[in-house]
Amino acid sequence: MKLRHPNVNLDPTVMRAQPQHHRRGSFVLIPMLCLILALAVIGEILKQTTIETGQLKQQHFQLQSSWLADAAAQRAVTKLAQNPDYEGEIWKTQPEEMGQDYPGEVVIKVQKNRQMESSVIIRTEASYPVKDSGRVRIVREWPCKIKGQKSGN
């Protein structure tokens, strides 16, 4: 009795089937495609995060400029109460004063109101941050009555 291995054909007359050639790297193709897809998704998420971070920073600058403009108007009202001849100033704020990372600057101008003698127009131009490419400038005007002066009517 002859023992034969089921996969081995020792008979030389029987034609051998060509061995199947499997490409050895083909099993790596699917994980590689998944990795490329995952990296593309992560890249888009990082891009979106960068855009949103820039938008948040710009909104922060806009809000800070708005607060500076309001504070400058209050500063001008206080100075006008102390000195009716106050005409304005350039008010520079340091980051430590505001608890922020950048300095701010406000140009305050006080103009006599031509329509009403007992009032002035306070104009503020707030810039935050002062020296940054993403600087935001807010310009506001407030009419303000001056107490202690009599109107011409």
Q: Transcribe 104-138 into DSSP letters.
A: EEEEEEEEE-SS-TTEEEEEEEEEESTT-TT-EEE
**By mean pLDDT, which of 5-9, 32-36, 107-111 is the weakest?**
5-9
- The predicted-structure confidence for 84-93, as pLDDT tens digits, reads as follows 889 999 999 9
Compute φ and ψ for 82, nearest 5 degrees: -80, -35
Containing H/E element for 101? none
User: Is the pLDDT reported for residue 152 higher than 60?
Assistant: no
Residues 6+ apart with CB under 8 A from 115: none
Model pTM above 0.75: no
User: Is the pLDDT reported for residue 150 higher than 50?
Assistant: no
- Looking at the chain, the number of H-run helices and the number of E-run strands are 2, 4
Dist CA 145 CA 142 (whole Å): 10
Res. 130 pLDDT band, cuts 50 70 90: confident
Q: What is the pLDDT of residue 144?
A: 86
Q: What is the mean predicted confidence (pLDDT) over 107-114? A: 89
AA identity, residue 53: T
CA angle (81, 83, 89) in 5-degree steps: 100
